[in-house]
A and B are shown apart, each in its own frame.
Chain A
Amino acid sequence: MTLHRRDAVKKLLENRGELLVVAGLGSTAWDCTAAGDSPLTFPLWGAMGQAAMMGLGLALAQPKRRVLVVTGDGEMLMGLGSLATIGVQKPANLSVVVIDNERYGETGMQATHTASGIDLAGVARSCGLTIFDFKDHRAAIHERPGPNFAVVKVAAEKIPLVLPPREGALLKARFRRALLGPEADLA
């Protein structure tokens, strides 16, 4: 059964509660927006390769909150070293989910390394992250000690863009205000 990315991400973010989300640039940012724009989602329009590290920084700063990074296979491939860095820090509140269509979706659907069998979950496992199945996402993202990691294989499809706000300073400010309260504006 082939999963569609919008359905998969919608399920990941269902009843998200206090979950903090970093969305990797490109299709996963649009997927998270399609599931419902939230000030507690930080959608990336740049910094390719840094989604997992932003999740790590957030998880270390907010150890009592659960943090989810939703990113694509191309974005994750650009930051493989961050899996080793996460493996050293071992944040119990962090999960990383790679929505893997084996394509660079924003640039003409060119094949990524995963299309040739490169195994992102294998890399993450070697770095000490705990691998989970998509069907267990609720428990892994919200309850089980991490760092947790999953690859969700999805269909390679071109679908309409659903865009979040573009301005970086706005996205940062609304995230901090929603998380830290109005005093964040005065920090």
Chain B
Amino acid sequence: MPPSDWPAGIHRELAQAKVRLVGFVPDAGHKRLIELCQADSSMRTVVLTTEEEGIGLVVGGWLGGEKGVLLMQSSGVGNIINVLGTVKECRIPLVTLVTMRGEEGEFNPWQVPMGQATRGVLEAMGTVVHAPSSAEDIAPTVGTALRLAYNSYASVAVLIPQRVIGIKSFQEQAAR
């Protein structure tokens, strides 16, 4: 598997960890991973109207004995702040995979405030943040995040850097 196919690496980690529920708000950076999860009959993908719904989904899933993860863009982290409090208070294991915007090479200024605040917001709400720096580091980092979350009943986020996703313009994003 070439390093550029980090979504396949993430999918393999999710499958090995027996993740059954995958909640997502679509994002260009997550396109391939979403498709891999949709094609996997052991996973139930749930498209959400807002990222906040994903927290309810994962909490309910864990009450019922199943593991869930969330896929979102960094802007979506702003939509889950309050409900991360529920995850903390109830000690629900949660892995959130965040594709970053508003950092290196951003072309949309409206993405920059939330992108720059993403790590701080997550940490302020008690979520452990892992930030792999290269494509080959992403899947192993997701593997460690899954182990930390499920062994320690923790909320863990993995920030996938914008440099790895590499979208340079609106036109390129729309073409994916």
Q: Which residues of A are at the interface with B, using a C-beta cutoff of 8 A?
A: 20, 22, 42, 44-47, 49-62, 79, 81-82, 84-85, 88-89, 167-169, 171-172, 175-176, 179-180, 184, 187
Contact = CB atoms under 8 A, between A and B. Distances in A.
Contact of A56 (B49, B60, B89): B60
A22 B60 contact: yes
Chain A contact residues: over half helix, strand or loop, or mixed?
helix
Contacts of A61: 20-21, 60-66
Contacts of A44: 86
15 contacts: A46-B83, A46-B85, A47-B82, A47-B83, A49-B56, A50-B52, A50-B55, A53-B53, A53-B55, A57-B57, A57-B60, A85-B47, A85-B49, A168-B89, A172-B91
A47 B56 contact: yes
B147 to A, nearest CB: 14
A60 B57 CA distance: 9
A20 B61 CA distance: 12
Given A47-B86, A62-B65, A168-B91, A89 B60 contact: no
A54 B63 contact: yes
A60 B44 contact: yes
B59 A47 contact: yes
Contacts of B92: 172
Chain B contact residues: over half helix, strand or loop, or mixed?
helix
B53 A82 contact: yes
A168 B90 contact: yes
Contacts of A56: 46, 56-57, 60
B135 to A, nearest CB: 31
Contacts of B48: 81, 85
Interface residues of B, number: 32
B86 A42 contact: no
A9 B57 CA distance: 24
B90 A81 contact: no
A89 B49 CA distance: 13
A53 B60 contact: yes
A54 B60 contact: yes
Contacts of B46: 56, 60, 85, 88-89
A172 B53 contact: no
Contacts of A187: 65
A184 B50 contact: no
> Which 6 residue pairs are nearest across A and B when measured between Cβ atoms?
A57-B60, A53-B56, A61-B64, A81-B49, A50-B56, A168-B89
A121 to B, nearest CB: 19
B102 interface: no
- Determine which residue in A22, A45, A53 has the highest number of CB atoms from chain B within 10 A of its CB, and name it: A53
A88 B47 CA distance: 8
Given A61-B20, A79-B53, A81-B50, A179 B89 contact: no
B61 A60 contact: yes
Contact of A175 (B58, B63, B68): B63
A81 B83 contact: no
Contact of B65 (A47, A169, A171, A184): A184
